[in-house]
Each structure stands twice: as C-alpha cells, then as structure tokens.
Structure 1
Amino acid sequence: MTDDRLTQVLKGNASAGVLSWPAGMTADAALREARDAGWETAVLDLSGVSDKAGLMRACAVALRLPDWFGANWDALADCLSDLEWWPAQRGRLILVRNWQAYATVRPEEWGILQELFADAAARWRDSETGLVVLMALD
C-alpha cells in the first residue's frame, strides 16, 4: 500500500475527484486497493478507440451505463451526475486505460471527456460515495 492521495481518498481521509496518477502504484494495484476498500470499480479501456462513436460505445460497455444512455455528451454528463444506476456503498473509481492515442488523435473530444469527468467528480466529492477518475499510465 502506498501513502498517496488515492489511498487517503479510499480511507475517507481526503476528497474524491480526478486524481494524478499515484506514484509507485500500478493500475491493477489501484483497482485492488479500491476494491479492498469497498469501492465499486470500472475500467474504461480506450484501446482502438479513434472517434466519438467508439468512445461512447466504450463508455456504455465499461461503465455499464443504463439503457437510456443516448451515446452523446449530454447523455454521458447526465449518467455521471446521477449515479443511481451504479449503486455503491463507499465510492466509485473509474480507471481509464490506453487513453493516450485517443487524446492525441481527438484532442477536442478528449478535453470534453476530461471536463465531464472533472464535473462529475466535483459533484460527488463531498458525498458518502465519491467518484474517483484515474488516468492509467502503465
């Protein structure tokens, strides 16, 4: 276990949000630590995603979005601001993997996604079931 911001969030000693990658922690270790702390987790893998439609499909599958998800920015924002479809007792962690190529090819869309994650994390920051978004570097 590392003494970083993620660990402090999972212990309830710091606010959730979009976090910098934890020093010395692999993606698998971050997921394991979150699950061990009783957090719900999802892995959004953007391997091979090269456009908005692919991103929306990846989000729908990885996050297990509700049937009413409309596969657009507004619908994704709605899903992330109302997490009743994703019950959690402690919190929720979204680990985003293999995002670098998408961010390079579609920088404007990547910026929108980052904004949506930041807004959602801020919305849930002070709740009992915070939302953490980690961008995996490994």
Structure 2
Amino acid sequence: MNAQFDLDFGDATHGGIFFVTSDDLEPLAEAAGMNGLSVCRINLADYADRDTLFDRLTQALRLPADFGRNWDALADSVRDLSWLKAPGYILLFDHAEGMRDAHEEDFDTLLDVLEEAVDYWQDAGSPFFVFFALPESAFDDVED
C-alpha cells in the first residue's frame, strides 16, 4: 500500500487509529521517532488469546510489573505511559489480521480501549497514534 500520510506527529489533534499495511510501519516509525514520540511495536502474528496480547503489550510498552493483565488495567496503562518519558506515543500493531479474524471480540475491545486513549491524549494535548497493519487485500473493497 505504502500510503502517503499527511500527519503531523507533533500535533495531538492529528492522533487517532489508522489501518495500514506492514510496509507502512517502518516509515511511520521513523517519522514519529524524528518527532520524539515513543515508538512501540506490537507483533500480533500467531495471536492465540488475551494472554498473548497482554504479554506483547507488557514488553512493547514496558508496562509496570503490577500491570493487572485485563482490559481495565490496559485502559489505565495506555492513559498513563509516564514511564516512557516522551512527548507523545505511537503504537504499531503488525499482523493485526490474525487477531481481527480469529478473535473479533478481543480485537473490538482493544479498539475501544485505544479509542478512549486517543481521546484522553488529545484532551491532554499529547500526540497518540495507533496503526494496525493489515494485508493489502483488506483494503481492496475500501479503495473501490
């Protein structure tokens, strides 16, 4: 896909949740990093269950040891992130199709949690971007 993005990673009002292809993740990470954002990569390949997600998020976001490993704890954590010491954040989820296709309820819940975080960070004036990489075929119907 290699989409062209007209996003100002320094502007909190541009934050949101976006769907891209895996090829887009590296240029996005570089652009966000140049703006000082904390870049967090989460690989959802072989997604098996929520424990898989919480394991990968714990590592990528360097969540505190007392992270509760449930949706409420995740919601609280992504609205804090103070331990990452950055002016803003970008979460890059690669291979999101596995979770989306096999565990739609978990995927939808994750989207809800992240949408609330986007709103929180916009109100706080801090950039917060989330990108989910899907296969090129996921965009075929959208582009018509």
Q: Does the 8 Å contact 1:35/1:41 carry over to 2?
A: yes
Q: Classify the secondary structure of the residue corresponding to 1:125.
A: helix
Runs of at least 5 residues in structure 1 that lack an aligned partner in the other structure? none
CA deviations on 1:40-64 (whole Å, 9 max, x unpaired) are 1000111112111111111111111
| TM-score normalised by length of structure 2 | 0.81
Q: Following superposition, which runs of at least 4 residues in structure 1 exceed 2 angstroms of deviation?
A: 2-5, 11-15, 19-22, 126-129
Quote the residue 2:62 is aligned against: 64
- Provide the C-alpha distance between the structure 2 equivalents of 1:113 and 1:13, rounded to a whole number of angstroms: 21
- Provide the C-alpha distance between the structure 1 equivalents of 2:97 and 2:76, rounded to a whole number of angstroms: 25
Quote the residue 2:50 is aligned against: 52
| TM-score normalised by length of structure 1 | 0.84
How many residue pairs align between the two structures?
132
Quote the residue 1:81 is aligned against: 79
Quote the residue 1:4 is aligned against: 5
- The Cα of 1:11 is off from its aligned counterpart by 4.2
Q: Does the 8 Å contact 1:46/1:102 carry over to 2?
A: yes
CA deviations on 1:93-121 (whole Å, 9 max, x unpaired) are 00111110111111111100010011001
- Provide the C-alpha distance between the structure 1 equivalents of 2:57 and 2:125, rounded to a whole number of angstroms: 24
Relative distance call for 1:3 and 1:14 in structure 2 (3 A) is farther
- Provide the C-alpha distance between the structure 1 equivalents of 2:4 and 2:132, rounded to a whole number of angstroms: 18
Structure 2 counterpart of 1:114, one-letter code: L
Query: Aligned residues: percent identity?
Result: 26
- Provide the C-alpha distance between the structure 1 equivalents of 2:39 and 2:75, rounded to a whole number of angstroms: 18
Quote the residue 1:108 is aligned against: 105
Quote the RMSD (CA, aligned, Å).
2.1
Structure 2 counterpart of 1:52, one-letter code: R
Runs of at least 5 residues in structure 2 that lack an aligned partner in the other structure? 136-144
Quote the residue 2:17 is aligned against: 18
- Provide the C-alpha distance between the structure 1 equivalents of 2:119 and 2:13, rounded to a whole number of angstroms: 13
Quote the residue 2:122 is aligned against: 125
Quote the residue 2:139 is aligned against: none
Structure 1 counterpart of 2:96, one-letter code: W
